């Protein structure tokens, strides 16, 4: 990937940096789907975030492996907030040099805000000053499909002596469009009925999914969790997706009466000017799906819905809004600042984008933030995506339109499209299944191999074995995927025809947006079991999962994940890049953990 960045820098059509500056990051052109319009108004405000180098991140990563790997002397001994912040704090020299640079450009230190570890600096400044600071030009870009607008640059420079001290400056070259992972193959939600016609729990879960179905399929039995153990399940929400409490209460009345009787309900925390409207017409299909199924499985464990603002990023006829379309950074800054006692033990996120739409430096930085959460004992789950290995189009689907599976590096070469943050090695990525007895891989289940992140040690033997046993993919898809990259998903769960209440109506939803809160709900129950038995919670799951945990999962061997006009990969015995290790069996997991594994 670094070679691609170097090529991009060479191709960046801009005057050479001014004296003392050199290119930090650049793109050869606007990514696919974006068109460059006019220069950005000089008065437009940017909320600029400067990420300073974290010189001891390698030590943090080593600690993450040690507290997450069964058999390690430190297994389960998660780090505290202060320990993590000490390991990611920049050198004093970095702080001094960056401060001096900002002051030299007329920015007083009093205008800055800093993260607790001082590894992020945030400041709000007009485009005109940002252009001078970064020796660049910002333009308005238009996304032709969605109609979104962004203020971005195709490249920026820094004083040469600061390259060793600054990781990333954003918003600059990030064109990611954070999207819910709800399957587009199914179109809009299917409306089942009004409130007057309440659907019963179906006799078969092959057609309609409810919490009772999931508890049956995943062997939860009559397990009852505690509401007072300190265990918290977190749900990340973005893009003004609002979780409606009235809808959720109605859902509980039908499918979890005990929760409704006890007044069980998620709480809400607002981040970066986030909102959570309770108007029925504003109820979000994604948000309601997340809270109703995370709560439906984890009851009575407290659930928190984090609503992070940051959309829309820019309105062309308004020259003064603040450009804050960096929701991951805002959310992570908020959560990482929490005391250890207030952190969720498990976190579900059903959003993501194509990996290539996120600049490499920014993707790495965000991924490293998830490593901090893992080191502090948080199990971080992400949906794997709903386009199979790319756009969800199989070899016979040309009639649905041209494939979008092309690189963004100026070559416009055919390529599978891994998803981010699903491709981050410090998160547990959840693919999709459907049917039961047995489960199949759902065709839209996102999966594949990262182009940004190399394969982590915890999964190398497993994935190497998979590729050795299926060498046909190396020749059939040569050049379309990176066989040495981080492979995903890690696990999977049901993701099709979920019954939920939205705006007072019963609807069906599909996507790995459903499988992620489902799996997270199961993890919450497992952590509850561990707490009740005086054991530490699982924290970062993957080292345990690949070492021993997979023995308690249901292997999925039927199905594939087409995309980019190919059949994608096949589900097969053992791990595969469609369903990972398969779906969880709560009873087997708790039995395994009771034996100390």
Look at residue 322 in the predicted model and tell me its pLDDT: 55
pLDDT band for position 200 (cuts 50, 70, 90): low
- Are 100 and 247 members of one domain? no
Highest mean pLDDT among 140-154, 202-216, 254-268: 254-268
The string of DSSP letters for 139-190 reads EEEEETTT--EEEE-SEEEEEGGGTTTEEEEESSS-----EE---GGG-SPE
Look at residue 239 in the predicted model and tell me its pLDDT: 82
Whether 312 is in a domain gets the answer yes
Whether 324 is in a domain gets the answer yes
Provide the CATH number for the domain around residue 416.
3.40.50.200
Task: Output DSSP code: residue 240.
Answer: T
Look at residue 19 in the predicted model and tell me its pLDDT: 86
Look at residue 206 in the predicted model and tell me its pLDDT: 83
Tally: H helices and E strands in the chain: 16, 28
Of 170, 197, 224, the domain-final residue: 170
CA 294 – CA 519 distance, rounded (Å): 8
Look at residue 550 in the predicted model and tell me its pLDDT: 98
- Are 138 and 259 members of one domain? no
- Are 444 and 579 members of one domain? yes
- The two tokens of residue 343 are 């952190």
- Are 163 and 193 members of one domain? no
Look at residue 12 in the predicted model and tell me its pLDDT: 46
- Are 166 and 216 members of one domain? no
- Are 48 and 100 members of one domain? yes
The string of DSSP letters for 417-436 reads --EETTT-TTSEEEEEEE-S
Whether 84 is in a domain gets the answer no
Whether 542 is in a domain gets the answer yes
Whether 77 is in a domain gets the answer no
CA 251 – CA 469 distance, rounded (Å): 45
Look at residue 387 in the predicted model and tell me its pLDDT: 95
Let me know: does 576 contact 569? Beta carbons within 8 Å. Answer: yes
356-412 confidence digits (pLDDT tens): 988 899 999 999 999 999 999 999 999 999 999 999 999 998 877 788 899 988 888
- Are 165 and 250 members of one domain? no
3-state secondary structure labels for all residues of 17-54: CCCCEEEEEECCCCCCCEEEEEECCCCCEEEEEEEECC
Of 170, 200, 234, the domain-final residue: 170
User: Backbone phi, then psi, for 318, in 5-degree steps?
Assistant: -125, 115
222-278 confidence digits (pLDDT tens): 999 999 999 999 999 988 899 999 999 999 999 999 999 999 999 999 998 899 999
Whether 249 is in a domain gets the answer yes
Look at residue 198 in the predicted model and tell me its pLDDT: 59
Look at residue 32 in the predicted model and tell me its pLDDT: 82
Number of structural domains found in the chain: 2
- Are 160 and 201 members of one domain? no
Task: For residue 92, say whether it is annotated as part of any ligand binding site.
Answer: no
Task: For residue 576, say whether it is annotated as part of any ligand binding site.
Answer: yes
Owning domain of residue 6? 2-55+90-170
Mean pLDDT over each residue of the chain, to the nearest integer: 91
The set of catalytic residues is 286, 290, 513
Average pLDDT of 553-576? Answer: 98
474-508 confidence digits (pLDDT tens): 999 999 999 999 999 999 999 999 999 999 999 99
Residue 7 above 70 pLDDT?
Answer: no
- Are 225 and 106 members of one domain? no
pLDDT band for position 59 (cuts 50, 70, 90): very high
Helix axes 245-255, 285-298, angle to 10 degrees: 40
Whether 64 is in a domain gets the answer no
Whether 523 is in a domain gets the answer yes
Indicate the pTM of the whole model: 0.93
Let me know: does 60 contact 371? Beta carbons within 8 Å. Answer: yes
Residue 294 above 50 pLDDT?
Answer: yes
Residue 6 above 50 pLDDT?
Answer: no
Average pLDDT of 107-131? Answer: 95
Percentage of the residues of the chain whose pLDDT score is greater than 90: 77
Which is higher by pLDDT, 316 or 63?
63
Residue 319 above 60 pLDDT?
Answer: no
- Are 278 and 163 members of one domain? no
Task: For residue 555, say whether it is annotated as part of any ligand binding site.
Answer: yes
Look at residue 321 in the predicted model and tell me its pLDDT: 52
- Are 339 and 197 members of one domain? yes
- Are 166 and 194 members of one domain? no
pLDDT band for position 3 (cuts 50, 70, 90): very low
Look at residue 202 in the predicted model and tell me its pLDDT: 64
- The two tokens of residue 205 are 């879960």
Residue 13 above 60 pLDDT?
Answer: no
Look at residue 15 in the predicted model and tell me its pLDDT: 63
Task: For residue 354, say whether it is annotated as part of any ligand binding site.
Answer: no
Of 106, 137, 170, the domain-final residue: 170
């Amino acid at each position: 990937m670094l070679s691609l960045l170097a090529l991009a820098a060479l191709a960046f059509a801009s005057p050479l940096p001014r004296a003392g500056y050199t290119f930090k990051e650049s793109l050869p052109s606007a990514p696919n789907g974006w068109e460059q319009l006019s220069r950005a108004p000089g008065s437009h405000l940017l909320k600029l975030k400067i990420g300073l180098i974290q010189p001891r991140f390698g030590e943090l990563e080593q600690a993450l492996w040690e507290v997450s790997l069964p058999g390690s002397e430190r297994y389960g001994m998660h780090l505290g907030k202060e320990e993590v912040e000490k390991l990611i704090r920049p050198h004093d020299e970095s702080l001094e040099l960056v401060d001096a640079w900002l002051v030299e450009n007329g920015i007083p230190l009093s205008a800055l805000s800093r993260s607790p570890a001082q590894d992020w600096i945030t400041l709000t400044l007009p485009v005109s000053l940002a252009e001078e600071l970064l020796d660049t030009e910002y333009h308005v870009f238009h996304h032709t499909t969605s109609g979104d607008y962004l203020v971005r640059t195709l490249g920026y420079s820094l004083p040469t002596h600061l390259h060793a001290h600054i990781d990333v400056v954003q918003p600059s070259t990030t064109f990611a469009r954070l999207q819910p992972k709800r399957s587009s193959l199914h179109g809009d939600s299917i409306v089942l009925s009004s409130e007057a016609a309440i659907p019963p729990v179906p006799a078969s879960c092959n057609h309609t999914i409810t919490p009772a179905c999931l508890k049956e399929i995943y062997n939860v039995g009559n397990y009852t969790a505690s509401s007072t153990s300190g265990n918290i399940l977190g749900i990340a929400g973005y893009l003004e997706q609002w979780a409606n409490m009235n809808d959720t209460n109605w859902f509980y009345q039908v499918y979890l009466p005990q929760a409704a009787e006890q007044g069980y309900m998620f709480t809400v925390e607002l981040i970066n000017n986030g909102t959570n409207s309770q108007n029925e017409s504003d109820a979000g299909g994604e948000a309601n799906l997340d809270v109703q199924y995370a709560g439906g499985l984890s009851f009575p464990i407290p659930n928190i819905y984090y609503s992070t603002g940051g959309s829309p990023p820019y309105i062309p006829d308004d020259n003064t809004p603040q450009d804050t379309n960096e929701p991951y950074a805002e959310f992570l800054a908020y959560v990482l600042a929490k005391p250890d006692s207030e952190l969720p033990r498990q976190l579900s996120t059903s959003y993501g984008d194509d990996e290539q739409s996120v600049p490499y430096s920014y993707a790495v930085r965000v991924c490293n933030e998830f490593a901090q959460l893992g080191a502090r004992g948080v199990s971080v789950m992400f949906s794997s995506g709903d386009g199979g290995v790319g756009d969800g189009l199989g070899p016979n689907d040309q009639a649905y339109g041209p494939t979008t599976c092309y690189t963004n590096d100026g070559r416009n070469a055919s390529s599978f499209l891994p998803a981010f943050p699903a491709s981050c090695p410090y998160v547990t990525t959840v693919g999709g299944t459907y049917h039961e007895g047995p489960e199949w891989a759902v065709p839209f289940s996102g999966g594949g191999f990262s182009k940004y992140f190399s394969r982590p040690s915890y999964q190398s033997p497993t994935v190497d074995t998979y590729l050795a046993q299926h060498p046909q993919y190396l020749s059939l898809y040569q050049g379309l995927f990176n066989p040495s990259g981080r492979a995903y998903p890690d696990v999977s769960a049901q993701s099709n025809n979920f019954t939920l209440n939205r705006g007072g109506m019963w609807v069906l939803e599909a996507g790995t947006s459903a499988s992620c809160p489902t799996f997270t709900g199961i993890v919450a129950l497992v952590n509850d079991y561990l707490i009740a038995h005086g054991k530490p919670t699982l924290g970062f799951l993957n080292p345990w999962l690949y070492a021993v945990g997979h023995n308690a999962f249901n292997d999925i061997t039927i199905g594939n994940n087409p995309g980019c006009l190919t059949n994608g990969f096949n589900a097969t015995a053992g791990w595969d890049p469609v369903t990972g290790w398969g779906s969880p069996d709560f009873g087997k997991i708790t039995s395994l953990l009771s034996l100390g594994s």
